[in-house]
Structure 1
Amino acid sequence: MKHNLLIVFALLFLAFLFPHEIIAQSPSIEKIEKKNNAKSSKAKISVVADELSKSLDENNESNIASNYEKLANEFLGKGDNAKAEEYFKKALASYTKLKLTDDKTRVTRSLAKVQESQKDYKSAISNYEVAGSMAEDKSLEKINTNDANRLRSSASPVAQESYVNSNIELLKKEKKSDEVSDAYVKKAENSLQQKKKEVAIESYNQALAYAKGKPAKIIKINNEIAKVYASDNQFDKAIGISEKLLADAKTKQDFTTQIKQLQSLSGLYFQKEEPNKAVDALKEAFALALQKGNSAEAKTSLTALTQYYNKKGNNKESLALYDQFVQNFDQLIHSDTTLIDAKTFQVSEDKIRQLEKEKSLKDELISRKNTFNYFLLGSIGLLLLFFVWIVKSFFAIKTKNKEIALQSLRREMNPHFIFNSLNSVNQFISENKELEANKYLTSYSTLMRNTMENSNKDFVSLDNELEQLKKYLELEHLRFQDKFDFKISVDPELDAERTMVPNMIMQPHLENAIWHGLRYLDTKGLLLLKVELISGKVVIRIEDNGIGLAKSQELKTANQKVHESRGMSNTKERISLLNELYKQHISFIIFEKTVPERGTIVEISCPLIDKIR
């Protein structure tokens, strides 16, 4: 008989030590899970786990971060700080990826608190500091800094007290009731370190005042108060608190709290040296745990009872309890929802791990794809920039070529002008007209100097151009004074100093009028240069009453025909280049007067320009 009881004892001991393994090996576990899931909803922690799985499957980073944080808080509420830390870290990583500063600050503080609860002070201090540095609110920054400094001052409870008090005031201003409650708990713990039990109890009561709506926290704080009373041998007060908590749990039908409070009462009765009451409380806790299918608490109660009976040498009672446990074992396992919830969550967590791996691979693929896309876009951008540079260079070269061509055409303007001028000087000298030759040469040199100064300009002011043309006409008139007179008129509405016209565009036509029209007249002719503002355009009119185009062609030598033809084409080419380079609309026409009038008219029309780039 004793041998059989020892075998049972060993089996039960193994069952208590390795409950998950035994359950995992049970062939009916799936049936049990289905049955329990059909009868009741899954635990909240499993619901959050399912939500997390869904967000991971959808790769929704915002929901992933939020669900990691929710799951961490659920584990924190269950007292599983290691799991809470794990999921707070994951939430922090997701919020960091999303660049959500406020969320990062909040989770970093939560992570520091859970690390502190596990006595990982180095990590906690670091995270409190990080949370403080990220906080945009100055009060929150100070709160985190105080917590970091409080942990650094662990060897000095007095120094810690000032940081706790500072945080209590700051958290009250921020209206963070839950954190105010936690801060008062810290103050109570600090007071206990300083052997100030009354101050500790007062702080715990303050913590209770700010813990409204948090039943689990209220129970925990009350139990801490009971411990303080018990440590001061005020067992009646401690027992009174536990009994009140037990009564409240019975009213709310909170069986888990009932069991725990019965166990707490048992401990208090043992301390008070009332073992019978202690044993009664443990037996009640054990019976309730068996009835409600809470194997973990049944084990705790049974272990405490057997330890007491073994110490007293009452093996009979111990064996009776084990016998009771064995008889209810199957029912206990079948009805223990906590085991099923744990198994269910284990399945969910395995799924989460798998989805996390898949997400990591997806993120890596997306990262590689983005890197390739950025490289491709960068390459295309560089090619486009290179293409734009080539196009710009091409147009710059083309523009430069046009400018060179335009400059070349300007310098080509009527080389006969120089030759004829020198011939005129030579003629004056040969006729002993030194005064006329000297006067002509002086005017000629002035004209040439001004012409050279403007040689690199495509446009000059109308005033400047007319001054040059007047000097040129005076020189020609000095030579052919018996052949023509000239007249220059400018529209009074034009500002000659501001209005810009093409450089040396009129001179070739004035020269043609003199040399191929007026000098062949038997009588004195007239050369008119008129500049008018018509419909917003500057119209330049060169008119003569010479022999006309047709008669002039008859009298020309072959060399003169080539010269005049080149002069016309030069003008047209220059106007075409000016229009391309400056996006203007300059036009040129030449026609002969109709009978009975004789002569030629040249009209050059250009936009009213007062500034050139």
Structure 2
Amino acid sequence: MKLKASYFLFLFLGLISCTVFSQETPSNRQASIFTVRGSVYDAELKQPIPQVNIEVNGGAYTTTNNAGEFRIQVKKGDELVVKHKDFETIYYTIKDNERLKIEVRAETKSSNSPQLNKGLSFNAAIDSSEYYLKTDIKKSLQFITEALSKSSSKTENAEVYEMLGDVYVFWKQYDLAESNYNMSLQNIKAISVQIKLAKAYWYNKNYQESLAVYKSISQKELSNWQQVILQEGLGDTYYSIQNYPLALKAYNSGLNKAKTFKISSKITDLNSKIAQVYSETGAEDEAEGYFNNALRLASQETESRAVEEKVKVADFKNKNQNFSDEIELRKQAIQDIQDIQSIEEDSAMGMESALTVQKQNYKIGNAYYLQKDYGSAKAYLEKSINEASAKNDLVVAKDAKRKLSEVYSSSGEYNKALETYKEYTELVEALYIKKEQEIIQAARFSKEIAEKQNRITSLESDRQLSESKYLLSAERNKRQLLIIYSLIGGLLLLLVTAYFMYKYIKQQRLANNLLALKSLRSQMNPHFIFNALNSVNSFIASNDERTANRYLSDFSQLMRSVLENSEADFIPLEKEIALLELYTKLEHFRFQDKFDYEITVSEEVTVSDFQIPPMLLQPYIENAVWHGLRYKTTKGFLAINMSKKNEAEIVITITDDGIGRERSKVLKTENQKKHNSQGMSNIKKRVSILNDMYQDKVDVSISDFQDLEDSGTRVVVTLKKD
């Protein structure tokens, strides 16, 4: 970053100096412009192509005429751009005043969108993309496109976009790398891709985003290597935002982990980075110690890693003005670089790398200059210039020329200084043109990459659209079937629900009826017991203990039968008869001077065939005794008769010749009326509920018995067989 900043500073100074030393005027510059003539032809049809766009980057513009010819003003070094919708854009650098003949071929579908090898499997396409990643981005992207077309799962989609991110990181298209890593994570959240995304944010100077991703990673799931890489990445980001305490903390954490896991390469790197942090904070002794560690460890690794560390330490020595050690280290570095290049022809360092002979010679010359050893400085600067010129490294050549001019000036050789400075300004001009073209080429490269990314995105969109259409069609069919099945299922469910609802309502109704019956029975039993106890009380009051004991004995037998049958809805008729005989006997025992009674069961009635609600008849007998016969002036008679009506029914008739219902009402007290009303109401409710539950099993009618003053009462109960 610092080199880049210094380059633009020197460029600015050079442009200013150029106006002083070169004596170049606008008219001189104008004189360098000339006219180039040319023509554009179809190579296959041998016909001129009209209306072709001809332009110079940042300059003139024209089009070809009907004869395919054009003229345009240019200067040496300009880039000519030839564009038309029917062929691929052509770029050409102007060398001299020459006549240009441009032959083109019509762009076919295959040239615009390279045909892919449809026979490749997904894994083969991914492997091929990785093979071309560092050598041919177009081929790499082509195989990625093929892999994407073969992808059939989220896992494979994630792998494709991760590879695409890796390609863009290598070719420094960090915005696109970020986008594709994010797309990979949308498919599968992988820790390795999260780390790559954080690094891509760092490359693109999105430091806060990088920190956020690093901090979001769960360290429990990291491998040993990933734990070290995570801490190193955090340290790099903190170092970039000049938060040196946190950078140092992260680097030290990474170093400890690297030592624990014995990851030697990272031990070297982290020692070097810790040294750089100490150097930035002014802790020179600590920095030197860590640099020495890094230098020692790097010498045990590859030769390229060792020379890289030597250059870093040399830069540190330069900063501390320890020029002798710096010079020695750089001389060793030059020898190491030359050895590496002689062994491995394809390992030549790129011009952007710090590990080039010309850059090291330049820095040695600069160190000698700072030591005021001008002779040695000149020698190494001239070596740097020669090496840079041979490799067309205009940046180093420019810097070395300027430094050499300063050396000449400092040593008193002003003429050479001026001459060298003029050469420097010429290099600045040439570098300006070169950088302008590099910027244009970089923009063109970025545009091409963006177009390929758009094709990949379009392919993904088309694939998703096709899948969506297929899924939509399948979903529509499923939906139709679902609707049909839903209607059938809904109808069945409705029927089942209706059935269970009917059953539930019936059960609930039955439960309610049973509860009501139980409630009514519970209301009747206390009333009966109360009356019976009153009778016992009357015997005791009259000092008739023997009668009271006999009455209590019969009463306890009656109560046992009543309680045994109190929970049943129906009991056998023979049990009800026995209960009535016992109850009537007790009532007659109390009121033997008031009535006689008779219980008759016809021989035609098979009592075992019939069921009757318990205590159904008792309230009618009680009413006959207490409200009819008891108030009669003469001795009355109570008759209970059971006879056969038909094969399925019997008739139970309860008759008395008491005072009758009308006279009984007149004689009743308000309390008696209330209790009698409740008793009769309970009987009616029981009969109604039982008939509802058992389909009119019981029928009850009440009428006067005779047309005399003591009209009496007749109760007729019809009982059906089960």
**Contact 2:227/2:254 (<8 A) preserved:** no
Secondary structure, aligned partner of 1:559 = strand
What's the CA shift string for 1:244-278, capped at 9, x where partnerless? 12221221003641766122233224313433443
Question: How far has the Cα of 1:186 moved from its partner?
Answer: 1.9
2:568 matched residue in structure 1: 454
- Structure 1 distance, partners of 2:364, 2:511, is 115
Which stretch shows the higher mean deviation, 170-179 or 260-269?
170-179
Contact in 2 for aligned 1:204/1:225 (Cα 8 Å): no
Query: CA offsets per residue over residues 160-208 of structure 1, 9 Å max, x none?
Result: 4344222211233345555444423321211321334522422432663
* Paired residues of 1:88 and 1:107 also in contact (CA < 8 A): no
SS of 2:646's partner is helix
Question: 1:25 maps to what in 2?
Answer: 91
Note closer, same or farther for the CA distance 1:192–1:277 as it changes in structure 2 (3 Å cut). Answer: same
Matches within 5 A, 1:223-234: 223-231=311-319, 232-233=322-323, 234=326
Q: Tell me whether 1:359 sits opposite 2:460 in the alignment.
A: yes
Residue 396 of structure 1: aligned partner = 501
Partner of 2:337 in structure 1? 245
CA, structure 1 residues 345+277, in 2 after alignment: closer, same or farther (shift >3 Å)? Answer: same
Q: Find the counterpart in structure 1 of residue 621 from structure 2.
A: none
Residue 237 of structure 1: CA displacement?
A: 1.8
Superposed CA offset, 1:74-129 (max 9, x none):
55456x3xx2464144223322332x3xx2x3333333344445554333322221
Task: Return the alpha-carbon distance in structure 1 between the equivalents of residues 607 and 388 of structure 2.
Answer: 124
Change in CA separation of 1:444 and 1:320 when aligned onto 2, cut-off 3 Å: closer
Question: Quick one: distance in 2 between partners of 1:30 and 1:164?
Answer: 57
- Separation (CA, whole Å) in 1 of partners of 2:610 and 2:495: 44
Q: 1:109 to 1:316 in 2, by over 3 A?
A: closer
Distance 2:378 2:89 in 1: 35
Q: By how many angstroms is 1:365 displaced? A: 8.7
1:560 matched to which residue of 2?
Answer: 646
Selected match of 2:271 from 184, 201, 217: 184
Check 1:142–1:340 CA distance in 2 against 1; reply closer, same or farther (3 A cut).
closer
- Matched residue type, 2:221: E
Correspondence 1:164 to 2:251 = yes
Matched, 1:510 2:630: no
Matching residue's letter, 1:246: Q
The corresponding residue for 2:59 is none
Equivalent position of 2:207 in the other structure:
121
Q: Does 1:106 align with 2:192?
A: yes
Paired amino acid for 2:460: K
State the match for 2:360 in structure 1.
265
Question: Contact (CA 8 Å) 2:237, 2:247: kept in 1 or not?
Answer: yes
- Which residue in the other structure is 1:279 paired with? 382
Alignment of 1:539-554 (within 5 A): none
Kindly indicate whether the alpha-carbon contact (under 8 Å) linking 2:274 and 2:290 is maintained by their aligned counterparts in 1: yes
2:182 is aligned to: 92
Identity %: 12
Cα distance in 2 for partners of 1:160, 1:126 equals: 15
Query: Residues 9-67 of structure 1, C-alpha deviation per residue, up to 9 Å, x if partnerless?
Result: x9455459x9x9x9843467999xx9xx9xx9785452542332223334554334334
- The letter of the residue matching 2:144 is L
CA distance, structure 1, for counterparts of residue 344 and residue 447 of structure 2: 29
1:143, 1:170 within 8 Å by CA — same for their partners in 2? no
Q: Bigger radius of gyration, 1 or 2? A: 2
Mapped contact 1:150–1:160 kept (Cα < 8 A): yes
Aligned to 1:136: 221
**Matched ranges for 1:299-448 at <5 A:** 299-300=394-395, 303=398, 312-313=418-419, 347=448, 349-360=450-461, 388=493, 391-401=496-506
Structure 1 residue identity aligned to 2:336: K
Q: 1:63 aligns with which of 135, 140, 156?
A: 156
Distance in 2 of aligned mates of 1:42 and 1:108:
20
Q: Which of 291, 298, 304 does residue 201 from structure 1 map onto? A: 291
AA partner of residue 126 (structure 1): A
Inter-CA distance 62–5: structure 2 relative to 1 (3 Å threshold):
farther
Please state how far the C-alpha of 1:71 moved relative to its aligned partner: 4.3
Where does the alignment leave 5 or more consecutive residues of structure 2 unmatched?
1-27, 35-73, 93-101, 115-130, 370-376, 406-416, 518-549, 583-598, 612-642, 651-689, 695-721
54 and 150 in structure 1: CA distance in 2 versus 1, 3 angstrom threshold: closer
Q: Does 1:50 align with 2:50?
A: no
User: Aligned AA for 2:382?
Assistant: V
Q: Pairwise mapping of residues 288-303 of structure 1 onto structure 2 (< 5 A)?
A: 289=391, 298-300=393-395, 303=398
1:308 positional shift: 7.0
Q: Which has the higher strand share?
A: 2
Specify the code of the residue in structure 1 equivalent to 2:91: Q
Q: How has the CA–CA distance of structure 1 residues 6 and 91 changed in structure 2, closer, same or farther, with 3 Å as cutoff?
A: same
What is the distance in 2 between the residues matched to 1:110 and 1:206? 30
After superposition, the Cα gap between the structure-2 partners of 1:13 and 1:91, relative to the gap in structure 1 and judged at 3 Å, is same
Q: 1:321 to 1:303 in 2, by over 3 A?
A: closer
Which one-letter code corresponds to 1:359 in the other structure? E
Counterpart amino acid of 1:107?
V
Output the aligned Cα RMSD. Answer: 6.3
Q: Cα distance 1:45–1:64, how it changes in 2: closer, same or farther (>3 A)?
A: farther
Using the TM superposition, give the Cα deviation of residue 443 of structure 1 relative to its aligned residue in structure 2, in angstroms: 7.0
User: Following the alignment from structure 1 to structure 2, what is the Cα–Cα distance between the partners of residues 65 and 562?
Assistant: 85
Q: Whose RCO is larger (CA < 8 A, sep 6+)?
A: 1
Partner amino acid, structure 2, of 1:125: L
The code of the aligned residue for 1:199 comes to G
CA distance in 2, matches of 1:146, 1:348: 30
Q: Matches of 2:396 and 2:404 in 1, distance apart? A: 12
Matched with 2:65 is none
Return the TM-score normalized by structure 1: 0.51
More helix by share: 1
Q: Aligned to 2:569, what secondary structure does the other structure show?
A: coil
CA distance in 2, matches of 1:24, 1:455: 107
Partner residue of 2:13? Answer: none
Partners of 1:125 and 1:141 lie apart in 2 by 15
The 8 Å contact of residues 250 and 258 in structure 1, kept in 2 or not, is answered as no
SS of residue paired to 2:649? helix
Instruction: Name the structure 1 match of 2:665.
Output: none
